[in-house]
């Protein structure tokens, strides 16, 4: 049975009142200077061992605007800390957490389960996830990645778009914007149609926006500028990582590969870009060296 917008609003009226009554911890407070963003997946191993020390090291490099890579399903914590504790660590380092990545939740393989479901995801216990995001002061909640079993047919992507609209409505009630982060598989055509276009066309532009990963879009043979022009204002968040000039075309430091960032940045207003985050899935050496190189290029050439 499909949930109508009217049914949804009736069911969430008490929920939304409770969330808005809970004060945010001002993680998304304005910064004094420019925002230099990092997706913490790049330093995931270090974050797993010493999150507080890693955040301090990232701050020393110059990153003050962050995007979380994980929200632990089951215990609903940010890198092992509740929202208040984590916000305190960020404040100490002069950092803000703009956004965080979440899972769709249809595939529970490898997940931490509670009562047999993949909690803290769009499909399971999303209310709690939104509540904790509001407490932390997040501005964006992002569907990060779809497992192979979650991709499916175009009809399944339409069902996913419906779920995104509901998730986005809940986010909106908490003062948060819902987004979807792409990889390359959303640009694998089915009958001449891209799943990415299905998501764009079947979601409410006010409830569901996009975090365009410039690497994955370019890797898939797409032109980010044309995507922006086709859907202006829909892309408040970008991921910056380059395509390595090697046969494997792996991720590389910004400015060292084949992505034309200078051209793309000329269209940030068309895209509606608010924040960008450096992300590098794999590094040849220390990820801290890589994010240092990326930030140096960005400061000199892009912002």
Q: Which two tokens stand for residue 18?
A: 């409770």
Whole-angstrom distance, CA of residue 297 vs CA of residue 303:
9
158 against 117, higher pLDDT = 158
pLDDT tens-digit readout, 108-156: 654 555 555 567 899 988 999 999 999 999 999 999 999 999 999 999 9
> What distance in Å separates the CA atoms of residue 207 and residue 236, rounded to the nearest whole number?
12
Can you tell me the distance from the alpha carbon of 190 to that of 218, in angstroms, rounded to the nearest whole number? Answer: 19
β-pair partners for 180: 143, 210
pLDDT at 184 over 90: yes
Q: How far apart are CA 99 and CA 140, in angstroms?
A: 5
Q: Can you name the residues that pair with 114 across neighbouring β-strands?
A: 117
- The total of other beta-carbon atoms located within 10 Å of residue 170's CB is 23
DSSP β-bridge partners for residue 142: 101, 179
* Percent of the chain whose predicted confidence (pLDDT) is above 90: 78
Kindly provide the residue ranges of all beta strands, DSSP E only, lying in 247-298, ordered along the sequence: 251-252, 275-278
Average pLDDT over residues 66-90: 85
Structure tokens at 139: 């501005």
**What local confidence, expressed as pLDDT, does residue 46 receive?**
97
Residue 302 has pLDDT above 60, yes or no: yes
Q: What is the overall mean pLDDT for the chain?
A: 89
pLDDT in tens, 193-223: 999 999 999 999 999 999 999 999 999 999 9
CATH T-level topology, domain 5-301: TIM Barrel (3.20.20)
| Mean pLDDT, rounded, for 161-187 | 98
Distance of CA 27 to the CA centre of its chain: 16
Note the pLDDT tens digit of each residue in 46-74.
999 999 999 999 999 999 999 999 786 55
Segment 98-102 shows an average pLDDT of 96
Q: What distance in Å separates the CA atoms of residue 19 and residue 117, rounded to the nearest whole number?
A: 23
Question: Has residue 36 got a pLDDT over 80?
Answer: yes
Name residues whose C-beta falls within 8 Å of residue 192's C-beta, 6 or more positions apart in sequence. Answer: none
- Give the pLDDT score at 125: 87
**Per-residue pLDDT, 6:** 42
Q: Is the pLDDT of residue 174 over 80?
A: yes
pLDDT at 292 over 80: yes
Lowest mean pLDDT among 1-15, 153-167, 243-257: 1-15
Instruction: Specify the pLDDT at position 2.
Output: 45
Predicted model pTM: 0.90
Q: Structure tokens of 296?
A: 């140096």
């Amino acid at each position: 049975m499909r949930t109508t917008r009217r049914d949804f609003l009736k069911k969430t009226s008490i929920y939304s009142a409770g969330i808005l009554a809970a004060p945010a911890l001002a993680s998304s407070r304005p910064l004094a200077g420019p925002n230099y963003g990092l997706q913490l997946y790049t330093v995931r191993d270090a974050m797993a061992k010493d999150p507080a020390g890693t955040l301090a090291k990232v701050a020393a490099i110059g990153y003050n605007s962050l995007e979380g890579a994980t929200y632990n399903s089951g215990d609903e914590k940010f890198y092992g800390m509740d929202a208040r504790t984590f916000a305190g660590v960020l404040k100490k380092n002069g950092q803000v957490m703009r956004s965080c990545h979440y899972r769709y939740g249809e595939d529970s393989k490898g997940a931490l389960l509670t009562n047999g479901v993949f909690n803290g995801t769009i499909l399971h216990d999303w209310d709690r996830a939104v509540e904790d995001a509001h407490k932390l002061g997040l501005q964006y909640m992002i569907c990060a990645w779809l497992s192979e079993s979650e991709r499916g047919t175009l009809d399944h992507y339409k069902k996913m778009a419906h779920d995104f609209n509901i998730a986005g409505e809940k986010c909106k009630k908490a003062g948060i914007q819902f987004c979807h982060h792409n990889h390359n598989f959303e640009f694998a055509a089915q009958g001449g149609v891209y799943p990415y276009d299905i998501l764009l066309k079947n979601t409410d532009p006010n409830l569901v926006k996009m975090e365009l990963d410039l690497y994955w879009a370019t890797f898939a043979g797409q032109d980010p500028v044309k995507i922006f022009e086709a859907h202006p204002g829909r892309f408040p968040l970008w991921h910056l990582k380059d395509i390595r000039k090697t046969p494997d075309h792996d991720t590389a430091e910004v400015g060292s590969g084949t992505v034309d960032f200078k051209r793309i940045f000329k269209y940030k207003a068309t895209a509606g870009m608010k924040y960008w985050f450096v992300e590098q899935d794999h590094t040849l050496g220390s990820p801290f060296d890589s994010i240092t190189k990326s930030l140096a290029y960005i400061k000199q050439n892009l912002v």
